[in-house]
Amino acid sequence: MENNLEGTGERKLQCDDVSKCFQLLESILDGNESADSQEVLKSKLAKCQPCFEHYHLEQAIKEVLRTKCTKHEVPSQLVENIRQKIEEIK
């Protein structure tokens, strides 16, 4: 099985270094790694099931946080109040 990992798309079921891998995956997902990390990412996701699952779950959570979290509208008076106070200290 090990020999055919890439060819068949099968992934190993245990990650050799969960701590290191997951931290790297999150860092890539957060855009904190260089462009060539995309290659590392591709190969990791192709070979390792825990990495594959972790990455996709984290990606989905990041996405729902960004798109679904309640946003509060800035109270209408706030900008005006700030400008007034600034005028006072000028």
Interface residues toward other proteins, by CB under 8 A: 18-19, 22-23, 26-27, 30-32, 56-58, 60-62, 64-66, 68-72, 74-75, 78-79, 81-82, 85-86, 89-90
**CA 84 and chain centroid, separation:** 40
Please say whether the beta carbons of 40 and 81 come within 8 A: no
**Count of other CB atoms within 10 angstroms of residue 70:** 4
Instruction: Select 8 or 70, whichever has its Cβ closest to other proteins.
Output: 70
Instruction: Select 42 or 79, whichever has its Cβ closest to other proteins.
Output: 79
Instruction: Select 42 or 85, whichever has its Cβ closest to other proteins.
Output: 85
